[in-house]
Amino acid sequence: MERPLVMGVLNVTPDSFSDGGRWASTEQAIAHGLELVAQGADIIDIGGESTRPGAVRPDAKEELARVLPVVEALSAEVVVSVDTMRAEIAGATIAAGAQIINDVSGGLGDSGMLRMVADAGVDYVCQHWRGHGAVMDNFASYADVVTEVLTETMGRVEAAVAAGIAPERIIIDPGLGFAKKAVHDWTLVGSLHRFVATGHRVLVGASRKRFLGAVLGGRAPDGRDVATAAVSVLCARQGVWAVRAHDVLAQRDALAVAMAVDDPMALPV
């Protein structure tokens, strides 16, 4: 078993569900990004738009102003991913050094996204999505959540390939919490091996999400990091490529334990 990469979350927003406003200034965001790198983040995922349930979208100018200087500063230090649904933002941040575009809409939020990513030749996270934050909870209905999410995700992968994105550049994400109830999220966590079996790298973003709170008595988001780490170990056991997390150190610790159990002979004497 290989250790999943850890993608550190850097929300440059005033309204993200867990840490909105904490890193809203450019200086605060850069400093926190460097802190996440020091904790062991392999990738920093920078986002200028909250995608939490009920979120109101900023305009493109505001989103770009939030993320562009942070991308410019951090891309020299670490692999940078940009969490955006807008082709305009993706293009500008790729020019500034971003190597991955993390599109939670799987190309449905902007008709120009897939072609732009294809032309840029960067990695693309294609996530399962059924609607923007303001309305997505209205679409949390499934007869067979794993099959439906996988089928819909692979439909977007086909669209990405048709637009010219190389298959090996595509990373899939089941979109935990996006148009899903807790029972759907937990069912998907137990079936991640089916996504891995597609041959695409799989990214999982469970960090501090409300389905964790559902088993923790409604605990606030900043009290869900241990539960997040438990999910990261489950991800590792199923061959997930990377986990997305707010608390990088907790995930690295949990994954180190999983790796030690898997291959104790590799430990330093």
- Catalytic positions: 209, 244
3-class DSSP string for the chain:
CCCCEEEEEEECCCCCCCCCCCCCCHHHHHHHHHHHHHHCCCEEEEECCCCCCCCCCCCHHHHHHHHHHHHHHHCCCCEEEEECCCHHHHHHHHHCCCCEEEECCCCCCCCCHHHHHHHHCCEEEEECCCCCCCCHHHHCCCCCHHHHHHHHHHHHHHHHHHCCCCHHHEEEECCCCCCCCHHHHHHHHCCHHHHHCCCCEEEEECCCCHHHHCCCCCCCHHHCHHHHHHHHHHHHHCCCCEEEECCHHHHHHHHHHHHHHHCHHHCCC
CA distance 249 to 225: 10
Residues 6+ apart with CB under 8 A from 144: none
